[in-house]
């Protein structure tokens, strides 16, 4: 009968002299000695039910001492206790010291810098969502190792949403362009549309094939709708009228402040604050709107907001405006923003106003970037003429034989 020999306890005095075998040294640390005389330290652990091993280096005289190996084992156990894989942690630190960066860390740093040039809170929130949520699958990848397949993996789940996927692709490209500029990856960009993604991605619906993404009321039905709306004596009904007659965006009227309104000259001055295209916006007020605002100012309950919320310190909700629109028309698909399209269709089919002035009424500045740079005039008188004509049309007394409201 062969007797089993017990392996000696590894100490600072004998770890250099024990024969071939694997020797436990405590704290998941092992000394591994090969028949050829090689000696190395290994740390064994379990992660998500899988047995893993991580080498600590040579155990020869010129290598790591027993005390040093034990210290490394204790550090690894601490990482495990925090939920971190010690081998992955070591690889991350190693690549970082070599000048490489993980996408998540680099992208977040880029975002914080890039958003300093963004005026609007909504735009910054959109950028943050793309970087932190949509690009999450790229988070642990090293920027120099990202390939087109990784980008496709991010884009495919959101590809049915053209605007979202387009924005995400553009942001990923900018981030990787920044990495290229800092010599963190090769000069080729896997998020480039023409050379990398367009040949392999599915075809999308063309942008702008239908004017406006919001369902709009037929302009012929507008006078009847305004007549019904005028019978409702609430602040929300008046706010909806102001939106329609000033061609403003919902958020602009929600946040309309008395300090912005020049009641003497009939001008609503938003400045740059809250405008979508970051251009100065001053809106001439039609007679109907100006009359209402002067009356409202005399009896206002808030020194700040024209349409205050319940607390008077915050703007009103837009939900009641949408509620009136749906109740008065019976169409659940209509949107408040769609009245801008109603105006545009009316101007195109019923008037001969200059297209450039009509677009300017919507705060759309036409032309390429060079042309826009020189278009600093406001055309207030021309715009007021267009807007007053529209306001007169919208508030005219409807005919008795008005047909049911249709959708454009």
Per the model's pLDDT, the better-predicted residue between 260 and 370 turns out to be 260
pLDDT at 55 over 80: yes
- pLDDT over 60 (residue 386): yes
Query: Which residues 6+ apart lie within 8 Å of 81 measured at CB?
Result: none
pLDDT at 94 (0 to 100): 66
Is residue 267 pLDDT above 60, yes or no?
yes
How far is it, in rounded angstroms, from Cα 219 to Cα 225? 10
pLDDT given at position 313: 79
pLDDT of residue 401: 52
Bigger pLDDT: 135 vs 90: 135
pTM of full prediction above 0.95: no
Residue 401 or residue 215, greater confidence: 215
Residues 250-273, mean pLDDT to the nearest whole number: 87
| pLDDT, mean over the chain | 85
Does 210 score more than 70 pLDDT? no
Q: What are phi and psi of 363, to 5 degrees?
A: 65, 35
Helix (H) or strand (E) holding 267: strand 267-271
User: What is the tens place of the pLDDT at every residue in 141-164?
Assistant: 989 889 999 999 999 999 988 888
Say how many C-beta atoms besides its own lie within 10 A of residue 167's C-beta.
17
CA-CA distance, 382 to 156, in Å (whole number)? Answer: 47
Residue 243 token pair: 């939106």
Q: Based on the number of CB atoms within 10 Å of its own CB, is 146 exposed (0-12), middle (13-18) or buried (19 or more)?
A: buried
Residue 402 has pLDDT above 80, yes or no: no
Sign of the C-alpha dihedral computed for residues 344, 118, 151 and 147 taken in this order: positive
Task: Provide the pLDDT for residue 280.
Answer: 77
- Mean pLDDT check: name the lowest of 10-24, 42-56, 204-218, 335-349: 204-218
Contact (CB, 8 A) for 321 and 236: yes
pLDDT at 255 over 80: yes
Q: Which two tokens stand for residue 268?
A: 């609503």
Residue 269 β-bridge partners: 282
Predicted local confidence at residue 317, as pLDDT: 81
With a pLDDT cut of 90, the percent of the chain lying above it is 48
Tokens coding 347: 């101007």
pLDDT at site 183: 86
CA distance 106 to 89: 17
CA distance linking residue 246 with residue 390, whole number of Å: 10
What DSSP string describes 296-365?
HHHT-S-SSBSSB-TTSSSBPPSHHHHHHHHHHH--TT--GGGHHHHHHHHHHHH----HHHHHHHTT--
Q: 171-190, pLDDT tens digit by residue? A: 999 999 999 998 888 888 99
Q: How far apart are CA 408 and CA 404, in angstroms?
A: 13
Quick count: other Cβ atoms within 10 Å of Cβ 54? Answer: 20
For residues 74-103, give the mean pLDDT: 81
% of the chain with per-residue pLDDT over 70:
87
- Worst-scoring range by mean pLDDT, 121-125, 277-281, 300-304, 388-392? 277-281
- The per-residue pLDDT for range 337-374, each reduced to its tens digit, is 899 999 999 999 999 999 889 999 998 865 444 444 43
Q: Residue 1: its pLDDT value, please?
A: 41
**Residue 238 CB burial class (10 angstroms; 0-12, 13-18, ≥19):** buried
């Amino acid at each position: 009968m062969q007797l089993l020999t017990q392996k000696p306890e590894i100490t600072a005095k004998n770890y250099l002299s024990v024969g071939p075998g694997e020797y436990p040294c405590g704290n998941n640390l092992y000394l591994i000695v090969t028949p050829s005389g090689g000696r190395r330290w290994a740390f064994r652990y379990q992660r998500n039910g899988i047995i893993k091993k991580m080498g600590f280096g040579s155990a020869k005289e010129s290598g790591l001492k027993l005390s040093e190996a034990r210290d490394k084992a204790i550090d690894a156990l601490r990482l495990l206790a925090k939920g971190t894989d010690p081998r992955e942690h070591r690889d991350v630190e190693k690549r970082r010291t070599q000048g490489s960066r993980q996408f998540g860390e680099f992208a977040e740093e880029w975002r914080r810098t890039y958003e300093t040039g963004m005026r609007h809170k909504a735009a910054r929130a959109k950028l943050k969502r793309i970087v932190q949520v949509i690009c999450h699958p790229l988070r642990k990848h090293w920027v120099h190792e990202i390939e087109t397949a990784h980008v496709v993996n991010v884009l495919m789940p959101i590809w049915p949403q053209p605007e979202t996927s387009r924005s995400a692709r553009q942001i990923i490209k900018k981030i990787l362009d920044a990495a290229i500029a800092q010599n963190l990856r090769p000069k080729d960009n896997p998020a480039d549309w023409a050379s990398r993604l367009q040949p392999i991605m599915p075809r999308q619906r063309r942008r702008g094939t239908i004017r406006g993404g919001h369902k709009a009321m037929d302009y012929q039905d507008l006078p009847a709708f305004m007549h019904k709306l005028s019978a409702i004596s609430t602040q929300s009904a008046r706010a909806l009228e102001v939106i329609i007659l000033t061609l403003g965006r919902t958020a602009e009227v929600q946040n309309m402040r008395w300090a912005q309104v020049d009641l003497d000259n009939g001008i609503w001055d938003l400045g740059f604050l809250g405008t979508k295209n970051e251009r100065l916006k001053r809106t001439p007020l039609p007679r109907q709107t100006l009359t209402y605002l002067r009356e409202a100012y005399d009896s206002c309950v808030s020194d700040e907001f024209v349409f205050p919320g319940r607390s008077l310190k915050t703007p009103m909700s837009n939900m009641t405006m949408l509620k009136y629109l749906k109740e008065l028309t019976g169409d659940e698909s209509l949107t408040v923003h769609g009245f801008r399209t109603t105006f545009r269709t009316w101007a195109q089919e019923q008037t001969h106003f200059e297209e450039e002035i009509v677009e300017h009424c919507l705060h759309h500045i036409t032309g390429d970037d060079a042309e826009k740079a020189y278009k600093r005039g406001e055309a207030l008188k021309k715009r007021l003429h267009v807007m007053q004509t529209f306001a007169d049309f919208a508030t005219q007394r409807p005919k008795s034989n008005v047909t049911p409201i249709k959708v454009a």
